[in-house]
Homo-oligomer: A and B are copies of this chain.
Amino acid sequence: MSMYDAINDECGVFGVYSDKVSKLANTVYYGLYALQHRGQESCGIVVNDGGVFGYHKGFGLVNEVFNPENLAKLPKGKIAVGHVRYSTTGALTAANTQPIVVRHVKGPMAIAHNGNLVNELELRRNYELKGAIFHSTNDTEIISYAVTESRLESGSIQEAVEKAMYKIKGAYSLIIMSAQKLICVRDPNGFRPLCLGVLPDGGYVAASESCALDSIGAEFLRDVIPGEIVIIDKNGINSITTHCNRKTSLCIFEYVYIARPDSVIEGSGVHAARIRAGRFLAKEHQVDADIVIGVPDSGLEAALGYSLESGIPYGVGFVRNRYVGRTFIQPGQDMREDSVKIKLNPISDVIKGKRVIMIDDSIVRGTTCGRTVKLLKEAGAKEVHVRISSPPFISPCFFGVDIDSKDRLIACKKTVEEIAVSINADSLGYLSAENVVKIAPNAKCGFCTGCFTGKYPIEVPKKMPKDKFESKITQY
């Protein structure tokens, strides 16, 4: 699957508490940079300077939104939090950028959220009936109300967060900054990753993925436990454990596609998981061929795994134009057909006359995959055998990944054989649902495979709430 295709990642969160670092905003900047793959639509940084919050947010990549001037303007401080976002709920409006920064009964509070609530509609209605007003369509604003409501009857922010956790349901990895504290929370199922690190000169960091710790030279400490509330303040790092003994269900697609290969989640490396996915795929769907290639960038590692397992040589089949970015425009309609070629060009030398195994991580609608196969055939491939390093998508994700709607998922409408025909592949094989959960064998948790099986670890709403709100208020 190409990086600009139909599956959108979700969000990345980052927080830091340190009185040693001279400019915390820069630390967050680097951290968000490393998490950029989790959200390219908007980003923001909030710095807490002794209870006074300064922030900057905007639309675009981290290095578009931030520059030396606005970073310099942000206050120095001891606590900071940042966010990169792709919208899973909530339209593309400024009110929906994160971290959300509000004043509540106890002063300022900032919240960065990765995930998606399943009882968003009930909660929203409940707060509306109590007089709440909403500026955004973002469920993070609902979480703010839940924490604020609990705060009125709690002695501390952590107590309020704990109470709020019994109201909000779904996937949430949260970093909350209050006047004094940095609070890191992971939902009881642990749908999304969240980990902790230690800065070389002292202080703590929290981030969606360990690659963000590496990028700032922090040492990995541990994952936040599902259901845990970690409190970082002048007393150091403390923890409240809630929802104990609950079955956990980390999103398996984090290993397949979302996370960066250099991250380690719940003790299992992402790169190794993808190599392993390729190996399983080779065992499940053998075929006689001359070369194994991956669709850049996300299919390359599974291709290497397939090659290692099958003994069929690994090759570089495509050149990806590394300048095709978020802002790539297609000025004319007459060349739409060739848009795949602008991003991806096959290397004829490698392909010509060969029986090719092409590995990708997933198929959504089938259109892109079909075009990619076509490119290989035009470049002279004798046969193209498509292998997908995850099972077919047959159901939506309610926990923070924006998979296309069911009626556009090709696997909801066609059998594997029919898909093979429609993408013009000589054969097609998906990794089985049995094996996909084995790609991260060291992970100390269970997995959610809802999008592949339709079986979800917690109750889900009848339909996605996204569409309901999107159309009511739009910012241009």
Contact = CB atoms under 8 A, between A and B. Distances in A.
Interface of A: 3, 21-23, 25-27, 29-30, 33-34, 36-37, 40, 51-57, 61-64, 66-68, 70-74, 94-95, 101-105, 107-109, 127-135, 137, 141, 144-145, 148-149, 152, 211, 214-217, 260-262, 264, 269, 271-272, 297, 300-301, 304, 308, 313-316, 318-319, 321-325, 327-329, 331-332, 334-335, 338, 341-342, 345-350, 471-476
Quickly give the copy total for this chain: 4
A271 B271 CA distance: 25
B26 A331 contact: yes
A283 B64 CA distance: 45
A22 B104 contact: no
Given A102-B135, A105-B128, 18 more contacts: A34-B342, A34-B345, A36-B321, A54-B476, A55-B473, A63-B328, A103-B472, A104-B134, A131-B152, A133-B141, A133-B144, A211-B345, A217-B335, A260-B319, A261-B319, A269-B348, A269-B349, A304-B316
A109 B472 CA distance: 11
A323 B271 contact: no
Nearest to A328: B63
A9 to B, nearest CB: 13
B342 A30 contact: yes
A322 B297 contact: yes
A94 B93 CA distance: 12
A345 B476 contact: no
Contact of A215 (B52, B341, B346): B341
A322 B26 contact: no
Contacts of A300: 316
13 contacts: A30-B335, A40-B323, A53-B474, A61-B323, A73-B476, A103-B473, A104-B128, A104-B133, A109-B133, A131-B152, A133-B141, A214-B341, A262-B347
Contacts of A57: 475
A96 to B, nearest CB: 12
Contacts of A297: 322
**Shortest Cβ-Cβ A-B pairs, 6 listed:** A26-B332, A269-B349, A262-B319, A102-B133, A105-B128, A36-B323
Nearest to A327: B63
Secondary structure of the A contact surface, majority rule:
mixed
Nearest to A474: B54
A58 to B, nearest CB: 9
A6 to B, nearest CB: 19
Given A52-B471, A323-B36, A476-B74, A129 B104 contact: no
Contact of A346 (B53, B109, B262): B262
Nearest to A151: B131
A84 B35 CA distance: 31
Contacts of A325: 63, 325
Given A328-B63, A335-B30, A322 B321 contact: no
Contacts of A68: 329, 331
A152 B129 contact: yes
A322 B33 CA distance: 10
Contacts of A141: 133
A324 B264 CA distance: 21
